[in-house]
Amino acid sequence: MVAKPFLTDIKILRERGRRHLEAGAVTEGYKADRATVLKLLNEALATEIVCVLRYKRHYFMASGINAQSVAAEFLQHANEEQMHADQIAARIVQLGGDPNFSPEGLLTRSHAEYVEGNSLIDMIREDLVAERIAIDSYREMVTYLGSDDPTTRRMLEGILAMEEEHADDLVSLLEEMGSG
Ligand SMILES: [Fe+2]
Ligand SMILES: [Fe+2]
């Protein structure tokens, strides 16, 4: 019985590494469908930008009605969504794509919605809805990528974990306010 080699022959690896140098990190061994991955990442980027905008609006509105601890939570989430947007944009470029920052069509590309909310409770609820949408879409992307693009998958898993923390924070805020 001949053992199945689990690595490509070194000679072939070395030859492949020299071809298409301009593609940078995207090598011939890249298994995912790059166009689909870039489309998904641009949708995730739009989602994060919409979330930054919504949390910023909520942060300033909550500050205005003197709800400092909730406002602080909104601001922290806004900053973390911005971090996610930056991570995703960087990965899009690394994969040879163009990060779409255009305000035109932003809401259509985004999975989550932009809802201003009339009260503090409304704002928290809308943020929770958006987080839950993000959680499901990130989980689906992770499953879709499987082992075809481990780097993108790992990044999305990290973001997914943080969206779950955000949702958890928001539920706690609702409970504290007696609206859980
Ligand atoms: Fe995020
Ligand atoms: Fe989030």
Residue 119 Cα, ligand 1 centroid: separation in angstroms?
23
Residue 166 Cα, ligand 2 centroid: separation in angstroms?
5
pLDDT of residue 2: 62
Nearest ligand to the CA of 168 is 2
Question: Using CA atoms, how far apart are residues 148 and 141, in angstroms rounded to an integer?
Answer: 12
Question: Using CA atoms, how far apart are residues 177 and 180, in angstroms rounded to an integer?
Answer: 8
pTM equals 0.92
pLDDT of residue 24: 92
140's tokens? 């689906």
pLDDT of residue 175: 94
pLDDT of residue 80: 98
Question: Is the CB of residue 75 less than 8 Å from the CB of residue 168?
Answer: no
**Residue matched to tokens 């900053």:** 79
pLDDT of residue 179: 76
Nearest ligand to the CA of 110 is 1
Nearest ligand to the CA of 128 is 2
Angle subtended at Cα 106 by Cα 75 and Cα 64, rounded to the nearest 5 degrees? 30
pLDDT of residue 1: 57
Question: Is the CB of residue 117 less than 8 Å from the CB of residue 145?
Answer: no
Neighbours of ion ligand 1 (CB under 5 A): 48, 81, 84
Q: Give the pLDDT of the chain (180 residues) as one tens digit per residue.
A: 566 667 888 899 899 999 999 999 999 889 999 999 999 999 999 999 999 999 999 999 998 888 999 999 999 999 999 999 999 999 999 999 999 999 999 999 999 999 999 899 999 999 999 999 999 999 999 999 999 999 999 999 999 999 999 999 999 999 998 876
Q: Which residues touch 147 (CB under 8 Å, ≥6 apart)?
A: 31, 153
Residue 12 Cα, ligand 2 centroid: separation in angstroms?
43
